Amino acid sequence: MAINIRHWARLAMPRAIAEGISRNRFIGMIKDTYGKAYRRTDILKDWAEISGIPEKTDRLKYVRKDYKPSAAVITETVGAQKALYVYHYEITGYDRIQQMDIKTGMAVASQNLLTMDEALQLALANMDWYDPEIDVVTFDIVSVTQSY
């Protein structure tokens, strides 16, 4: 199975930004770990885009389940996405095969803006297909992105 370096790097970027890691240091860490699998220009574009996510993530927690996220908490993206809206989740759980606690990411895409509960139900429905060996403990929204 091919690893999508960009997906995993994008999931790590908000934490790196919050910890004060510079763009150049982050790029070095990605290259040391994965080699040249992620172009510098793409990393810089993603970094600029994601740098607004930590504030928006906190606000996403307070969007009611029966409401759709507003433009104030949606991050606009320039790059290609599978659909107009993508809901990014961070999953913590227990991997039954590796017999250890894990933290991983998942994204669900939709052409329509969904309520927070609709997006969560879609993600949970896809979890068995995504990784059936994980017993989910928490399923937290990280960001909602919209391509334009």
Length of the chain: 148
Taking the alpha carbons at both ends of the chain, their separation in whole angstroms is 30
Domain edges within the chain: 1-51, 53-148
Q: How far is CA 1 from CA 7, 66, 81, 90, in A?
A: 14, 36, 20, 21
Q: What is the pLDDT of residues 106-137, one digit of tens each?
A: 889 999 999 999 999 998 888 777 777 888 88
Which H or E element spans position 1?
Answer: none
pTM for this structure? 0.65
Residue-by-residue pLDDT tens, the chain, 148 positions? 446 788 888 888 888 887 778 888 898 888 888 877 788 888 888 887 787 666 677 788 889 999 999 988 888 776 667 789 999 898 888 888 889 998 888 889 999 999 999 999 998 888 777 777 888 888 888 888 888 7
Give the 3-state secondary structure of 62-89.
Answer: CCCCCCCCCCCCEEEECCCCCCCEEEEE
